Amino acid sequence: MKIFSVNASPTTTRGMTHILMDLFLEGAREAGAEVESVDLQKKKIGYCVGCLNCWVKTPGVCVQDDDMTELRQKFIQSDYFVLGTPVYVDGMTAQAKTFLDRLIPLVDPYFEAVDGHCRHKKSKSKVPELVLLSVCGFCELDNFGGLVDHLQRISRNMQTRLIGSILRPASRILVMDKILPDQVKQIKQATRRAGKELVEQGSFSDQTLAEISQECIPTEIFIDGANLFWDRCIEAGKFPV
Ligand SMILES: Cc1cc2nc3c(=O)[nH]c(=O)nc-3n(C[C@H](O)[C@H](O)[C@H](O)COP(=O)(O)O)c2cc1C
């Protein structure tokens, strides 16, 4: 089984998305999957220019021969695709969206009705099933609402399936091992287990997802702590990534 993942956080290995993704992929690897992960920020990927030459002139081939040529192949050769993105302005990062836009050469231009809805015909390329892995700064789970809805729509558009979403609000809790050792340990163990569950069951248990996204600190205390953190960052003139 092949898993292809992208980390679409511009902070790459310094960010919380990376921590969560690493744990998830570790679990998947331990369960026997072949895993490949790419930091989009380190790749050369231009915006889609909307020419649609990839549909009408050179079917399946984009006018831009940049790193997406290789990444598109990795995408279609995988059984599962994991999109790792932090929440940016209630959605995915620009890196994630640009990657997804640039998958358009894989799409068949012709339309058909699917469940009474106008869709593109199913791609001739094998499209992997999708997993969303995301972190966000605020502490409520509903901050992922727009992103999860978007991924559900994308999976419907690509005529594939969103297997599930690995979501960690209050992302910086992932580096608070000293303050919240038990919770951080449980979140990390559950994230590893989620990777294993994907390989062994093709789904995630509710218990695992709930442990990953668990509330660790009541909102009022979280807000006070976050504001102290901002005081310190402003004093130092530096955000710790
Ligand atoms: C430009 C920008 C926009 C953000 N927008 C949101 C947001 O809408 N909601 C939220 O909860 N967090 C938001 N955040 C916080 C990030 O999701 C959070 O810091 C996350 O840990 C960043 O990912 P990283 O650690 O991989 O860099 C935003 C951060 C940035 C830099």
Residue spans of the domains in the chain: they are 2-215
**pTM assigned to the model:** 0.98
Domain topology for 2-215: Rossmann fold (3.40.50)
Q: What is the pLDDT of residues 29-49, one digit of tens each?
A: 999 999 999 999 999 999 999
**pLDDT surpassing 90 at residue 115:** no
| Residue found by looking up tokens 């790459």 in the block | 12
Nearest Cα residue to 171 out of 96, 239, 123, 102: 239
Is any atom of ligand 1 closer than 6 Å to the C-beta of 138? yes
Ligand 1 pocket: which of 13, 23, 37, 171 to mutate (most atoms within 8 A of CB): 171
Task: Work out the average pLDDT over 202-231.
Answer: 97
Is any atom of ligand 1 closer than 6 Å to the C-beta of 131? no
